[in-house]
Amino acid sequence: MKAVRLLEYGGQLVFDDVPKPTISRDEILVKISSTAVNHLDLVKASGAARQILPIDLPWIPGHEYSGVVEEIGSDVAVWATGDAVFGANGVGGAYAEYLAVKPAAIARKPSNLSFEDAASVPVAAQTAWQGIFTHGHLEKGQTILIHGGAGAVGAYAVQLASHAGATVIATASGTDAAYLNSLGASRVIDHRSEQFEKVLQEKVDVVFDLIGGETQKRSFLVLKEGGRLISATQPVSQEETARYRVSGEMMRLAPSGDVLGKIARLLEEGTIRPDVATVYALQDVDQAWTDIAGNLPGFHGISPGGPGAARHSSHGKIVLRVAASEDEIRLRALELYLARGAQPGSEMEDWLQAERELVAVKLAR
């Protein structure tokens, strides 16, 4: 199969042939349709955080994906060949045509999303969910301050918190105010022209920190006593939490098919929505990484001023399309339909229904 690999820390990405994964009895083989680019991919590849985020070289990046169940292990009962799924993991591997996964880490792809849109969801949306609910214990009627609201995680946090009935305040660039208001933020504080701790009139119940540094230190000033500071970027000072009589912790994503299933239902209802900025072919991964490196100067040896860096918007995910041409995917859909007992002489409506049922193996446009 084709895959993108990193052979050494800080090295070039290589697009080449590697063995197709074999699955164990409790695994599923997913034929990847799309995968998304995350800052985590670049951080791991650079080697800058190898002490806490080690990888086994050669390494295939890609922590989230959408695709179709190609094969199931003998102990797997819930899934069937042809099911459309999406998911995330903590080790990577999705910059490839196939990926072996555990059933507990995937969920059914929302029927109203394309594979490209679905691939952009699992890491950011689950990080937001676990940050504000699992760790932050956000409840209806409370107030949450989200730092970095216009980023991929922040945008989901704004939507999820608003849907939960919380008052949502976000820090971001002033140019993103309209975008965040449309997602459910009641107030957007321009971090370039205002200091949130000086303009907030009332303290908040939860701070979800996606920025770190001085922003995190100043966040203690706006937390109610007994409030919670959840960081996705760096450890939280326990000295400061004791001083201000609040709680605080750094979270790390724990991919969960159950959580992703809840997110999928919200996506199908239209309660929350994904945001994809750009879609590249898998073989154009170098350009995709150059685009995203604009927010991570120095990582993977890519200059933020390099070609394409300015084209990436301040919000929305970059997605890599892994699947082949639409003609090949339509052929695969036909093969699966025939395998399920259809006859070549069926009426046209039968073929149309096959495409509807097996949307998982089509490129949704």
| Residue 343's pLDDT band (cuts 50, 70, 90) | low
Mean pLDDT over each residue of the chain, to the nearest integer: 87
| Contact by Cβ (8 Å): 220, 231 | no
Rounded distance between C-alpha atoms, residue 112 and residue 267, angstroms: 8
pLDDT at 357 over 90: no
Query: Tell me, what's the pLDDT at 323?
Result: 83
pLDDT digits 0-9 by tens, 278-317: 999 999 999 999 988 765 544 444 433 333 333 344 578 9
pLDDT at 328 over 70: no
pLDDT at 128 over 60: yes
- 340 compared with 191, residue with greater pLDDT: 191
- Other CB atoms within 10 Å distance of the CB of residue 348: 7
Q: Break the chain down into helix, strand, coil percent, rounded to 5.
A: 35, 25, 40
Query: Tell me, what's the pLDDT at 294?
Result: 66
Query: Tell me, what's the pLDDT at 304?
Result: 36
What is this structure's pTM? 0.85
pLDDT digits 0-9 by tens, 174-211: 899 999 999 999 999 999 999 999 999 999 999 999 99
pLDDT at 168 over 60: yes
The half-sphere exposure of 233 on its side-chain side, counting CA atoms within 13 A, is 18
Rounded percentage of the chain residues whose pLDDT exceeds 90: 76
pLDDT digits 0-9 by tens, 9-37: 999 999 999 999 999 999 999 999 999 99
**Bridge partners of 26?**
none
Q: Say if strands 2-6 and 13-17 run parallel, antiparallel, or are unpaired.
A: antiparallel
